[in-house]
Amino acid sequence: MMRLFTCAPTTVCLYITFCLSILAVTFATDGVNSQEAARDFFTKRIGQENGSNHTNNWAVLVCSSRYWFNYRHMANALGMYRTVKRLGIPDSNIILMLADDVACNTRNKFPGTVFSNQGRHLDLYGENIEVDYRGYEVTVENFIRVLTGRMDASVPRSKRLLTDDRSNIFVYMTGHGGNEFLKFQDNEEISAFDIADAFEQMWQKKRYNEIFLMVDTCQANTMFSKIYSPNVLATGSSELGENSYSYENDADVGVAVIDTFTHYILEFMEEINKTSQLTMQDLFNTYSFEKIKSTPGVRSDLFSRPLDRTLITDFFGGVARAELVDENASVEDSSPTINVDEPSSASAEDVPSDHTFARSHSANNITHADLRHSAMAGKESSWPGLLKQFRAWGSVAVVGGVTGWIFMSR
Amino acid sequence: MDKSHYGSRNPSELPFESPFLRRCILAAYWALVLVALPAWWHTTSIERLPLPMSQVMAQTKREIEFPLNIRLSSAVDGVDADAVAHELERSLRSRLSSQLFVLPTGLNDVSVSSEPGSYWVKLTDGVQESVVEENVLQHRWDVRDSTASSTLANRLAALLSPYSEHAHAEQHEHVVSKYASRYHIAFTLLNEDAASGKSALSWQIREALQRIMRPVFKRLGPLHNFTIESQVQFHAPLAFTPTAVDVNGTEVYGLTPEDLTVFVNSAEWTLSSGVTNDPILHFLLFVPSAFRRPLHILDSAGTLTRSHSFILPQWGGVVIYNPPPETQGNFHILSSQLDSILPIFRHQLLSLLGVPRLPSGVKSVSGSLSTWQIDALLRRRAHENAREAQQTLGSIVKLVEQIENMPVGKDVKRDVEDALSALDQAFEAALISPKLAFDHSSRALTLTSRAFFNPGMLALLYFPPEHRLAVYTPLFASATVPLIVAVIREFAAWRKQRKTAASSGIADITSVGYCPSSATFDHNDVITKVGLNQR
């Protein structure tokens, strides 16, 4: 940022502006926090029971950086890919985005492989891997198109996130980032605001039941700070101002092979099988600064279920339920019947009508809460927005004024 | 020499330093800026056409309603159709939320059966059980039974509104897949390991489908368009090992409830061709390896259940097929053998598509789906589609308002308007026929989804104001600041010049009053002096 500033004519005035803007930012975030608290109140009120009611699982895994020296980011994403696949998410439900192909890099001494540990015990590339977006296809635009579903009609099924309101989505992102942004390739970046808006659009179109966002990058916790849509659980590798570090080098590969945060997550996941009953809380309890060398963050205020009731497999696993079919009914009688107890005449009059009333009532509640929610979100977006506009134009005026004064005084 | 001479010349004598020329140049710059401003504004602003917001808001509050017309006739002696109809209307109205009329009618009124959207209840004492055929319910009416009227009311309520009436049906809600106008149906014969011998090498699925599934597909034709594919796989390993169970001294294999949830080994089974973006429903016939037969399903207590099939909600169904133990070598599954399997698939398909079941005590005459069931499904889907279309419209409007840099193009606007009119039509058609209402509502849903998923609706990325400042300042500050300063200086010079002109004008007014050209010369001198003083 500062380097950009130096090309402006007068660094001093820009420094003043910079200070002014920092002041304004701190004021703005204070306002956001209090409003967030109020919104949590509403989202928690409309939360459902403890078990997840999803019927399908999806995963979006993004490695956003290029080049051989970013080998570890590819390994991060592939490690997650291997885990979710092992735990039962089919390839058709995994969108894997890899910005580079280190396995086929000429510098790779072990062609066609990607390892995530010293000594190269486990080849993540394996025999059966399906990369949906690769190389220069991994752009901010494509990522947002995947999430929001706004695609050209010609895009094939394998590149689409075909989720509905009963889908749990695991979103994993890794790369180089900073305060509220993550760099894609070497020329663009996605900001925390873009992710928040994309999630909101998904929520509005009912494209998810729950989302688990995991970010492994420097200052990763800032990436989920702007999210405002309900039912999103998020975790990141490091706080604002902290770096995320790589875990280990392999002397033969010649570069770092995995990042610390992802390494410990994957290590935890190795203990888990498809029918595991471990919860998200168990995962978060394993976080420690000593191991990870940074402060991992968890954001659960938007999430409506308690973390100790949220299974790891709700996000990393396949489908959760199966129902037996009563074969006799379906075979004997070609038009299927069910045995319903005939309600006795007294209760039959009251119960169903009450029941329908209760249902419509609860539906109303939700829409009201939603409306309030959106109204608040609207207000919130307009206030700091105005402030920011004002700040931007104000500082342009200051710069212009000072430069003009210098010109005039000569 | 020449150069120094040139440099020492009086600037006022240089042709390009004449104030007029200088001001013209300055004005030209400013004219260019002013002319370019609208173009710059136009090319950098996002096209955001206004959406019919008030209409959308009004539309989202509407509820689709289907009036129900029931004709009642009685062939039982001593039963007054009028009284029964009145009683029935009263008790049904209190239970169902929709408008409902029960009209007594003659026994052989032919016009009734052809009327769309109306149902006919015939009371007889000729049948053992209630029977439905098309839109007619033949109900056994026992004069001596005091609860006869409430039984009939229960049956009718269950037939007309099967989704809200059964507590049982509520639990199955999550099984029903979301509405889509096109479905891909994939039938797969999976051999766990054909190399182990005694495996199914082929199946006569085409004939069996033709005979057993086709009537169902045909009956559901108004709702969905089905594409069917089938395949045989010879190596489909399970990702786990089934538990061995000892039953009466023989060893069998069992799948625990946890096994069922992870039964589908999607990593290694290629289940569909994936050529389509439509939702896919899978139906798997799984033949266990010869070393793991027979394979049964266990309940949570670990004992065998009689069922060999299960549904995976919104995904499809699985049937486990254990070939008879006396089977020698590989075999082919004949069409006649599929007769016991395909009805299970059909049952699973109907559950997945949300087709209501007949209430107990009611049978279908021909074995096919009755108009009562299809209509109930049509009403349900029309209701769902209309609600979803309304919500999508609402969210489009809300998002466009909320996200300031989201473009709204012509096609989005047109789709939104078309969807609004389709919804209007659906509400109107609901009074006449569920099928029409359903058609319009599904068109509304398609249009709203297309509007929402319009690729052009992708909002521009967010850039913090600092970012914009950093980009614009080097570009514009260096160009605009000299321009502004030049104007200010020129203005100051002009004012000073006017002032001196005014003071000298007062002094010379008598001598040069009638000589404006000499006054102009004076002005020039003054400006030059001012200019020199400033340097």
Q: A325, B489: Cβ pair inside 8 Å? A: no
Q: Interface pTM (ipTM) of the complex?
A: 0.77
A353 pLDDT above the threshold of 60 = no
Same domain, B114 and B252: no
Q: What percentage of chain B exceeds 70 in pLDDT?
A: 86
Same domain, A245 and A358: no
Same domain, B221 and B349: yes
The amino acid at residue B117 is G
B459 pLDDT above the threshold of 80 = no
User: Alpha carbon B196 to chain centroid distance?
Assistant: 46
Q: B464, A191: Cβ pair inside 8 Å? A: yes
Exposure pattern of B331-358 as b/e (b: 16+ CB <10 Å)? bebebebbeebbbbbbbbbbbbbbbbbb
- pLDDT value at position B325? 82
As a whole number, mean pLDDT of residues B343-349 equals 90
Nearest to B158 by CA among B361, B459, B343, B317: B361
Please indicate whether residue B34 or residue B12 has the higher confidence score (pLDDT). B34
Nearest to B181 by CA among B449, B376, B394, B453: B449
User: Alpha carbon A370 to chain centroid distance?
Assistant: 22
DSSP letter string, B512-527: HTT-HHHHHHHHHHHH
Rounded Cα distance, A74 and A72, in Å: 5
Same domain, B214 and B163: no
Rounded Cα distance, B281 and B272, in Å: 9
Same domain, A351 and A249: no
Q: Are strands A210-216 and A167-174 parallel, antiparallel or unpaired?
A: parallel
Same domain, A84 and A229: yes
B194 pLDDT above the threshold of 80 = yes
Please indicate whether residue B194 or residue B11 has the higher confidence score (pLDDT). B194
- B416 occurs within a structural domain: yes
How many residues does the structure list for chain B?
535
Same domain, B253 and B328: yes
Same domain, A350 and A276: no
> How far does the CA of residue A266 sit from the closest CA of chain B (Å)?
19
Contact status, residue A314 vs residue A168, Cβ threshold 8 Å: yes
Whether chain B has a CB inside 8 Å of the CB on A251: the answer is no
- pLDDT value at position A171? 95
Give the range among A33-37, A104-108, A307-311 with minimum mean pLDDT. Answer: A33-37
Report the range out of A28-32, B62-66, B346-350 with the highest average pLDDT.
B346-350
Q: Which long-range contacts (CB under 8 A, 24 or more apart) does B129-133 make?
A: B129/B361, B129/B362, B129/B363, B130/B155, B130/B361, B130/B362, B130/B363, B131/B362, B131/B363, B131/B364, B131/B365, B132/B159, B132/B358, B132/B362, B132/B363, B132/B364, B132/B365, B132/B370, B132/B372, B133/B364, B133/B365, B133/B366, B133/B370
- pLDDT value at position A340? 33
Backbone angles phi, psi at A213, to 5 degrees: -100, 130
B154-175 pLDDT per residue, tens: 778 777 777 765 555 555 677 8
Q: A191, B461: Cβ pair inside 8 Å? A: yes
Please indicate whether residue B452 or residue B356 has the higher confidence score (pLDDT). B452
Same domain, A165 and A30: no
- B288 occurs within a structural domain: yes
Q: Are strands B280-287 and B182-191 parallel, antiparallel or unpaired?
A: parallel
As a whole number, mean pLDDT of residues B21-37 equals 91
DSSP B458: P
A201 pLDDT above the threshold of 80 = yes
- B37 occurs within a structural domain: no
User: What count of other Cβ atoms lies within 10 Å of the Cβ of residue B302?
Assistant: 10
- B405 occurs within a structural domain: yes
Which residues of chain B does A331 touch, with a Cβ-Cβ cutoff of 8 Å? 340, 343-344
Q: Report H helices in A58-163.
A: 71-86, 140-148
Token pair for B444: 């509304």
Which residues of chain B does A348 touch, with a Cβ-Cβ cutoff of 8 Å? 95, 150, 153-154
Q: Which of A295, A316, A337 is the last residue of a domain?
A: A316
B211-245 pLDDT per residue, tens: 888 989 998 988 899 999 999 999 988 888 888 88
Same domain, B210 and B295: yes
Which residues of chain B does A5 touch, with a Cβ-Cβ cutoff of 8 Å? 470
- List the B243-247 sheet strands across, edge first: B243-247, B250-255, B295-297
Number of domains in chain A: 2
Residue of chain A nearest B275, judged by CA positions: A157
Q: How confident is the model at residue A75 (pLDDT cuts 50, 70, 90)?
A: very high
Same domain, B247 and B341: yes
A283 pLDDT above the threshold of 50 = yes
- B225 occurs within a structural domain: yes
Q: B347, A333: Cβ pair inside 8 Å? A: no
Q: What is the mean pLDDT of chain A?
A: 76
- pLDDT value at position A339? 34
Exposure pattern of B444-456 as b/e (b: 16+ CB <10 Å)? bbbbbbbbbbbee
Nearest to B90 by CA among B101, B74, B79: B101
Which of A 331-350 lie inside 8 A of B, CB atoms?
Answer: 331, 333-340, 342-343, 345, 348-349
Backbone angles phi, psi at A349, to 5 degrees: -70, -40
Q: How confident is the model at residue A317 (pLDDT cuts 50, 70, 90)?
A: confident
Q: How confident is the model at residue A17 (pLDDT cuts 50, 70, 90)?
A: very low
DSSP B45: S
B286-318 pLDDT per residue, tens: 999 888 888 999 888 888 888 889 988 888 899
Same domain, A111 and A254: yes
Contact status, residue A170 vs residue A57, Cβ threshold 8 Å: yes
DSSP letter string, A10-57: -HHHHHHHHHHHHHHHHHHHHHHHHHHHHHHHHHHHT---SS---SEE
Give the range among A69-83, B235-249, B363-377 with minimum mean pLDDT. Answer: B363-377
Same domain, A235 and A182: yes
Same domain, A387 and A336: yes
Q: Which of A260, A288, A316 is the last residue of a domain?
A: A316
- B304 occurs within a structural domain: yes
Please indicate whether residue A14 or residue A251 has the higher confidence score (pLDDT). A251
User: What count of other Cβ atoms lies within 10 Å of the Cβ of residue B511?
Assistant: 9
Rounded Cα distance, B202 and B219, in Å: 29
- B33 occurs within a structural domain: no
Domain that holds residue A391: 2-47+320-409
Q: How confident is the model at residue A199 (pLDDT cuts 50, 70, 90)?
A: very high
Same domain, B89 and B152: yes
A344 pLDDT above the threshold of 70 = no
Q: How confident is the model at residue A39 (pLDDT cuts 50, 70, 90)?
A: very low
Q: Which of B122, B137, B171 is the last residue of a domain?
A: B171
Among A13, A54, A73, A218, the active-site one is: A218
B124-150 pLDDT per residue, tens: 776 777 777 777 777 777 777 777 777
Nearest to B154 among A329, A339, A343 (CB): A343
Q: How confident is the model at residue B12 (pLDDT cuts 50, 70, 90)?
A: low
A256-275 pLDDT per residue, tens: 999 999 999 999 999 888 87
- Is A176 one of the catalytic residues? yes
Rounded Cα distance, B483 and A404, in Å: 10
- pLDDT value at position A302? 92
Q: How confident is the model at residue A13 (pLDDT cuts 50, 70, 90)?
A: very low
DSSP letter string, B219-278: HTTTT-EEEEEEEEESB---SS-PEEEEETTEEEEEE-HHHHHT---TTT--------SS
Which residues of chain B does A333 touch, with a Cβ-Cβ cutoff of 8 Å? 363
Give the range among A130-134, B113-117, B528-532 with minimum mean pLDDT. Answer: B528-532
- pLDDT value at position B104? 75
Please indicate whether residue A330 or residue A158 has the higher confidence score (pLDDT). A158
- pLDDT value at position B294? 87
User: What count of other Cβ atoms lies within 10 Å of the Cβ of residue B477?
Assistant: 20
From the number of C-beta atoms within 10 Å of its C-beta (0-12, 13-18, 19+), residue A34 rates as exposed
Number of domains in chain B: 3
Q: A340, B360: Cβ pair inside 8 Å? A: yes
A98-108 pLDDT per residue, tens: 999 998 989 98
Angle (CA) A394 A396 A399, round 5° = 110
Task: Map residue A212 onto helix, strand or coil.
Answer: strand
- pLDDT value at position B53? 87
Q: What is the mean pLDDT of chain B?
A: 81
Q: What percentage of chain B exceeds 90 in pLDDT?
A: 20
Give the range among A212-216, B139-143, B332-336, B485-489 with minimum mean pLDDT. Answer: B139-143
Contact status, residue A353 vs residue B381, Cβ threshold 8 Å: no
- pLDDT value at position B1? 44
Backbone angles phi, psi at A55, to 5 degrees: -120, -5
- pLDDT value at position A33? 44
Same domain, A24 and A152: no
**Which CATH number does the domain housing residue B147 bear?**
3.30.379
Same domain, B213 and B126: no
Same domain, B135 and B98: yes
Q: Which of B321, B353, B385 is the last residue of a domain?
A: B353
- pLDDT value at position A383? 64
Q: A318, B266: Cβ pair inside 8 Å? A: yes
- B200 occurs within a structural domain: yes
Angle (CA) A352 A358 A360, round 5° = 105
Angle (CA) B388 B390 B392, round 5° = 65
A15 pLDDT above the threshold of 50 = no
As a whole number, mean pLDDT of residues A178-192 equals 89
A10 pLDDT above the threshold of 70 = no
DSSP B79: -
Which of A 267-326 lie inside 8 A of B, CB atoms?
Answer: 274-275, 317-326
Q: How confident is the model at residue B113 (pLDDT cuts 50, 70, 90)?
A: low
Q: Which of B166, B179, B355, B357 best probes binding to A when mutated, by most A CB atoms within 10 angstroms?
A: B357
B86-95 pLDDT per residue, tens: 888 888 877 7
Which residues of chain A does B267 touch, with a Cβ-Cβ cutoff of 8 Å? 85-86, 88, 90-91, 128
**Which CATH number does the domain housing residue A274 bear?**
3.40.50.1460
A144 pLDDT above the threshold of 90 = yes
Q: A407, B482: Cβ pair inside 8 Å? A: yes
B439-455 pLDDT per residue, tens: 999 999 999 999 999 88
- pLDDT value at position B189? 92
Q: Which of A83, A311, A327 best probes binding to B when mutated, by most B CB atoms within 10 angstroms?
A: A327
How many residues does the structure list for chain A?
410
Token pair for A398: 């200051």
B109 pLDDT above the threshold of 80 = no
B181-192 pLDDT per residue, tens: 899 999 999 998
Same domain, A138 and A196: yes
Same domain, B303 and B345: yes
As a whole number, mean pLDDT of residues A336-362 equals 34
Q: Which of A316, A344, A362 is the last residue of a domain?
A: A316
Same domain, A358 and A215: no
Nearest to B229 by CA among B179, B190, B183, B265: B183
Rounded Cα distance, B303 and B313, in Å: 24
B193 pLDDT above the threshold of 80 = yes
Rounded Cα distance, B313 and A164, in Å: 13
Q: How confident is the model at residue B510 (pLDDT cuts 50, 70, 90)?
A: very low
- pLDDT value at position B114? 58
Same domain, B228 and B90: no
| Chain position carrying tokens 């976080």 | A287
Q: B488, A408: Cβ pair inside 8 Å? A: yes
**Which CATH number does the domain housing residue B405 bear?**
1.20.1270
As a whole number, mean pLDDT of residues B412-439 equals 90
Domain that holds residue B93: 68-171
Which residues of chain B does A162 touch, with a Cβ-Cβ cutoff of 8 Å? 277, 279
As a whole number, mean pLDDT of residues A227-237 equals 92
Report the range out of A22-26, A87-91, B3-7, B491-495 with the highest average pLDDT.
B491-495
Q: Distance of CA A238 to CAs A61, A172, A190, A212, A245, Å?
A: 19, 15, 18, 17, 9
Nearest to B203 by CA among B345, B366, B380, B314: B345
Global pTM exceeds 0.80: no
B499 pLDDT above the threshold of 80 = yes
Rounded Cα distance, A23 and A390, in Å: 13
Q: B157, A14: Cβ pair inside 8 Å? A: no
Q: Report H helices in B317-433.
A: 335-338, 342-353, 371-402, 410-429
Give the range among A101-105, A201-205, A353-357, B346-350 with minimum mean pLDDT. Answer: A353-357
- Is A218 one of the catalytic residues? yes
Whether chain B has a CB inside 8 Å of the CB on A328: the answer is yes
Same domain, A61 and A41: no
Q: Which of B462, B489, B524 is the last residue of a domain?
A: B462
Q: How confident is the model at residue A214 (pLDDT cuts 50, 70, 90)?
A: very high
Residue of chain B nearest A18, judged by CA positions: B466
Which residues of chain A does B462 touch, with a Cβ-Cβ cutoff of 8 Å? 191, 193-194, 197
Same domain, B202 and B338: yes
Please indicate whether residue B79 or residue A375 has the higher confidence score (pLDDT). B79
